[in-house]
Amino acid sequence: MRFLRELLETLILAILIFLVVQTTLQSFQIQFESMKPNLLPGQRLVVNKILYFHFSWGKATKYIPFVHKEDNTAFLFHPPQRGDVIVFEPPLPSASDYIKRVIGLPGDIVEIKGGKVYANDQPLAEPYIADAPNYAMAPEAVPPGYYFVLGDNRNNSSDSHTWGFVPLNNIIGKAWVSFWPLDRWGWAPNYSFAQVER
């Protein structure tokens, strides 16, 4: 009887651990070259799914304590930041999720000209790209609840400059750790920008 009880406790604990891991972490494999030179096809990452957990209770959201709030959305930790590498469901038909870098935040004015990306009229220093973009994009305002994303391989990436903004609800999580192949093991290539004035 004691053996059965311990077996049941172990089984319940294993199921709980499995559920926690499934809801907070996800494995993701790079399939295309849009994030070169930082992420390569075949490379595998762990995605942190809980970091951007959010909810909205309308105007009542502003009364929720101990959370980060933007507009009527409350984030358990914080919203996506400029420079974060995110995995998301693309807002166009696709058989797989996409991975790109957050460039424009809700409320930003984003523009691409002269081989540089601008956020709120400020050129972004982007040491993580190999080549400057060889295209231009007229200034566009990022709507509330949306993000502007670009691939690091600027001239070989299907991203916001061609199909538009990514809704917050499409974002699965932030790239966290690269674990395969072993010679590329380490933190994902997220980048922290200095605050761009709005």
Catalytic residue among 36, 49, 100, 174: 100
Q: Over pLDDT 90: what percentage of the chain? A: 60
| Whole-number Å distance between alpha carbons of 13 and 104 | 42
| Whole-number Å distance between alpha carbons of 3 and 52 | 41
Catalytic residue among 34, 157, 160, 178: 34
When pLDDT is cut at 50, 70 and 90, the band that residue 68 belongs to is low
Whether 36 sits among the annotated catalytic residues: the reply is no
pLDDT computed for residue 198 by the predictor:
47
Q: What angle do CA 141, 142, 147 make, to 5 degrees?
A: 155
Amino acid found at 97: D
When pLDDT is cut at 50, 70 and 90, the band that residue 88 belongs to is very high
Sign of the dihedral defined by the CA atoms of residues 69, 70, 76, 81, in that order: negative
The two tokens of residue 181 are 């192949």
The gap between the terminal CA atoms of the chain, to the nearest Å, is 66
pLDDT in tens, 105-164: 999 999 999 999 999 999 999 999 989 999 999 999 999 999 999 999 999 999 999 999
| Whole-number Å distance between alpha carbons of 101 and 62 | 29
Sign of the dihedral defined by the CA atoms of residues 64, 65, 71, 73, in that order: negative
DSSP string, 71-84: TTEEESS----TT-
| Whole-number Å distance between alpha carbons of 45 and 72 | 31
pLDDT computed for residue 193 by the predictor:
81
Q: Parallel, antiparallel, or unpaired: how do β-strands 85-88 and 171-180 relate?
A: antiparallel
Whether 100 sits among the annotated catalytic residues: the reply is yes
